[in-house]
Copies of this chain bind each other. A is one copy, B any other.
Amino acid sequence: MAAERKVYAFIHHEFVPLAEAYLHISDLAIQRGYGIFDYFWIQHGQPLFLEDYLNRFYQSADLMQLPVPLEREALREKVLELIRLNNFPLSGMKLLLTGGYSEGGYEPGTPNLVLIEQAVEYPEQENVEKGIKIITHQYQRELPAAKTINYNMGIRLIGQIREKGAQDVLYHQHGIITEFPRSNFFIVKQDNTIATPAHEVLKGVTRKNVLELASATYATEEGDITLDDVLQAKEAFQTSTTKRIVPIVQVNDTLIGTGRPGPVTLALLEQLEALEQQYLAQYK
Contact = CB atoms under 8 A, between A and B. Distances in A.
Interface string A124-150: 000000000000000000110000111
Contact of A142 (B22, B143, B152): B152
A33 B29 contact: yes
Nearest to A118: B105
A196 interface: no
A96 interface: yes
In the complex, which range does the number of interface residues on chain A fall in?
35 or more
A85 interface: no
Q: Is the interface of A mostly helix, strand, loop or mixed?
A: mixed
Q: Within the oligomer, what is the number of copies of this chain? A: 2
Interface in A10-43: 11, 19, 21-25, 27-35
A27 to B, nearest CB: 7
A33 B152 contact: yes
B34 A155 contact: yes
A213 B219 CA distance: 65
A99 interface: yes
B25 A35 contact: no
Given A29-B33, A33-B34, A149-B31, A99 B21 contact: no
A39 to B, nearest CB: 9
Contacts of A21: 24-25
Contacts of A182: 106
Nearest to A34: B155
Given A25-B96, A33-B149, A65-B159, 12 more contacts: A22-B24, A23-B25, A30-B98, A32-B152, A33-B34, A33-B35, A34-B151, A64-B152, A64-B156, A106-B151, A108-B155, A143-B152
A275 interface: no
A99 B155 contact: yes
Among A25, A31, A35, A151: residue with most chain B CB under 10 A: A25
A140 to B, nearest CB: 10
A11 B30 CA distance: 13
A219 to B, nearest CB: 35
Given A11-B25, A24-B21, A25-B96, A149 B30 contact: yes
A153 interface: yes
Contact of A33 (B94, B106, B148): B148
Chain B CB count within 10 A is highest, among A35, A152, A154, for: A152
A280 interface: no
A26 to B, nearest CB: 8
A178 to B, nearest CB: 15
A116 interface: yes
A37 to B, nearest CB: 8
B98 A105 contact: no
